[in-house]
Chain A
């Protein structure tokens, strides 16, 4: 990931800041500038999600991508936030402890880094609540 690309999304990753359409009361994460339901009638505002959620589904990664090899096996899950949107996140727990419907809460962790010389990328992951 480029330094500029990460920086653009930094506030959303640090604090789960997404958007809310005041017209149809829909919540979006990642944030959307235009409501796909209301189009030009939509009125988008910034929204900080409360954080807690529930695991909708998950997978256990055994053959990891570059930079994550030493964390395998690890859990990658889709978390439904209390306000509705779904958030793909590493679930920090043992693979045998995760289950669908599990209540989870956000934590601040290292998401990755650009090698020994690059930036360290921080953001939100989930742990069992």
Chain B
């Protein structure tokens, strides 16, 4: 039985702050930072937006794009590291808002930046086994970076929802296979009740991102007997522009292959939405028959690799919901003071 993406939807808040505006406050060199990170600006949520509202907007776009009957969705899983409640699921809010309730299951996922792709894999299992007709996997975040911390330059807001099904006639992309690579690494964490995450310095690069992304990517290509030249496009988790560019080169993918999905310079790191946003942006411009390789990374740490084959259906549904390029267009820029207010960084009492 085949399994694949039946529909997808993305959401990005309208507000942006430029790296130079953050650098000015903390006395950093904006040019060096922008060039080093390959990030020029990042998205900022409105004051009444959070992970739940972003997840709902992405989910509604996914339902609309392929005109899905929400009652067919038997599972809603929302992956995030910024769920609005410590205890109370984001996924029940989403399921109620898309009218998928009540004959369905729901849960929230958490695995740093790859909780959304972990949810895709869970949905793949549920639809493959016949337990549900369709499953919805969401990656959404309003990610946090402590004032003055390196993460503040990239921690952004956005989300993507994918509806996973098993009827090939409905799919926009068949998931040919998936492979995960997971170990216990202290590269990034946030303790209960803490406002901002911590990162484990030297564990972030080689032992974290590069080991797990290349481990998952090489594992999948070895399992499938494919090589980078078999793919038209590739997407790698994009915490900044530098990491996905470097890991693509290490694995043998070209700059042209990763170009359509590399949205981080204009968006920042949307954490659980990051790799899925790259997949959505790549699907937005994909042609039937294209093969797309994608690997998400989550600190802690793990990599989830996927191989997609785009179907003829993509041309029918592409324009039925906002594209990532459309969501990136016409941003409203804000200064650091307004950004601090939006992100609740100003102590009021």
Contacts and interface: CB of A to CB of B under 8 A. Distances in A.
A103 to B, nearest CB: 17
Interface string B96-124: 11010000000000000000000000000
A38 to B, nearest CB: 28
Interface in A51-97: 70-71, 90, 92
A125 B46 CA distance: 13
Contacts of A120: 50, 52, 84-85
A10 B99 CA distance: 12
A71 B47 CA distance: 7
A120 B52 CA distance: 10
Given A70-B341, A120-B85, A110 B97 contact: no
B341 A108 contact: no
Interface in A1-36: 10-11, 14-15
A107 interface: yes
Interface string B58-69: 001000000000
Given A70-B341, A120-B84, A120-B85, A108 B50 contact: no
Contact of A110 (B48, B57, B96, B99): B48
A109 interface: yes
B335 interface: no
Contacts of B50: 110, 120
Given A15-B97, A120-B85, A92 B56 contact: no
Nearest to A17: B99
Contacts of B53: 107-110, 122
Contacts of A109: 46, 48-49, 53
A108 B60 contact: yes
Given A108-B57, A110-B53, A122-B53, A71 B97 contact: no
Contacts of B341: 70
Nearest to B342: A70
Interface residues of A, number: 16
B93 interface: yes
Contacts of B46: 92, 109
B57 A14 contact: no
A15 B93 contact: no
A122 B46 CA distance: 14
Nearest to A111: B48
Contacts of A108: 53, 56-57, 60, 97
B52 A122 contact: yes
Contacts of A15: 97, 99
B96 A10 contact: yes
Contact of B96 (A11, A71, A111): A11
Q: List the 4 closest A-B pairs by CB distance, nearest first.
A: A108-B56, A109-B48, A110-B48, A14-B97
Interface of A: 10-11, 14-15, 70-71, 90, 92, 107-111, 120, 122, 125
Given A10-B96, A110-B53, 8 more contacts: A14-B96, A14-B97, A92-B46, A108-B57, A108-B97, A109-B46, A110-B49, A120-B52
14 contacts: A11-B96, A14-B96, A15-B97, A70-B341, A71-B48, A108-B60, A108-B97, A109-B53, A110-B48, A110-B52, A110-B53, A120-B52, A120-B85, A125-B48
